Structures are given as structure tokens and as C-alpha cells.
Amino acid sequence: MRTLHRSDSDTTHVSDSEPELALQLATRETSDADLRRFLHNAFPDVEIGPEQKIKIRPHKCVYIHYTSLEDWTDKCDILRCNPEFQANNDRRFNYVTINMDDNPLTCARMLYIFRCFLPQAREEDVVLVRLFKNSRWQPKTIWENCRILEDGRTMLILAKYFICGVHLINVFGCTKESTTYYLNDLIDNDWFLRAGNEFYSS
């Protein structure tokens, strides 16, 4: 289950001149067209006319409820997506795992969370994410199940496909340290198993 925490912003409308959404959509000039195309592909049964504005409500936090692979209990990750998280304007764009057909361990950075208000009183939660892809760079010492990721493409995705949060660590000794990461599968037992490791008893 995905629960969004409402921001202080009021409900807004998306248009080609919407500066905040346009900026978050990788500064693309066709932000409105991108969103309309995404909604049309995701919900072909919903008709949105070209002259019809799309209401959105930004959010800065998402609660992800999932089942732990360690003991099958219910868990909850609280993830932030906030350019001004604290008084000193710290940026918090947390990482998440997404259920994708081609890779069950797809990781991404959340960039912008918002709820779309569609016709027929329908509401859908959409997130702009930066996907990570496998990096060709390798450290001098490779350990078992070492996973190295780097920045990939930016895309819109439905929040319902989020699985849980993920912890990534910036690599060191790489020419692109700011955009290359180790997947930390030792953060807890759930992630140890989720990443494909096995427990061994003596």
C-alpha cells in the first residue's frame, strides 16, 4: 500500500508554462504533453481532452507498506522527496525499488511526487523518477553479489509499483562518484534476502 503525505502546496493545474513541474521533468518544454501521453498509456479508458486542464497536488513524502522477506511481517518505509527538507534547505530525494517486468530489482531516485485528479472523480499517484542502470565500472576488489548502479533515464511511473525503499552508497575511486552507487544489501536482513543472498548455518 502506498500512502502520500500532502505538502503545503495547494492543488495546482499542469500546463506548458507550469515552472515547477517543467523543471522537475528534466527541464523539458513539453512537460504537459509528457504527462498527458503517460496518463493516456496508463489509463486508456480515461479521456482527457487537449483543452482540459489536469489538476495535480504535489507531495513530499510517501509511506510504503510491504511484507518483509525475513519473517513475513508487515513493514513500512517512509521516503522523502523534498527539495527543502529542513530549515537549512537540505534536499532529500530518497531511493526506491520498483516492480518492473524486465528487472525485479530496479532502483530509482524519486524526483517529484504528485496526485493527478482525472475525470470521473478518479485519482492516481504519479512519480517522476530517475532510474538506475547497471554500471560498467568495477572496483579493484569484487565481492559476491556486488551490484554497482549509475544514473539512467528519467521517466514517470505510478506509485503503486513501488516495492520498498533501498539504500545506495556513493562509490569512491570512480570518475563519476556523484552518479555511481553501490547497492547496500547489508542494511537489514530483508534486503540481504531481497538482493538474492542466502543465509548459511554452521
Per-residue pLDDT at 163: 95
Q: How far apart are CA 177 and CA 181, in angstroms?
A: 8
Q: Please give the Cα distance from 48 to 36 (Å, whole number).
A: 8
Looking at residue 106, what is its pLDDT?
93
The tens digit of pLDDT for each residue in 145-181 reads 889 999 999 999 999 999 999 999 999 888 888 889 9
Phi, psi values for residue 162, rounded to 5°: -70, 140
Q: What is the pLDDT of residue 6?
A: 47
Range 114-138 average pLDDT: 92
Amino acid 22: pLDDT:
38
pLDDT at 123 over 90: yes
pLDDT(71) > 70 = yes
Using the Cα atoms of residue 167, residue 173, residue 176 and residue 178 in order, give the sign of their dihedral.
positive
130 contacts 14 by C-beta, under 8 angstroms: no
Q: What does the pLDDT average to over 62-91?
A: 87
Using alpha carbons, select from 112, 104, 200 the residue that is nearest to residue 155: 112
Does the structure show a pLDDT above 90 at 117?
Answer: yes
Per-residue pLDDT of 7-44, as tens digits, reads: 443 333 333 333 344 344 444 444 788 899 999 999 99
pTM of the model: 0.80
State the pLDDT at residue 87: 64
d(CA 104, CA 145): 15
Question: How does DSSP assign 86-151, residue by residue?
Answer: STT---EE-EEEE--SS-TTEEEEEEEEEEEEETTTEEEEEEEEEEEEE-S---SS--TT--EEEE
Q: Are 12 and 56 in contact (CB under 8 A)?
A: yes
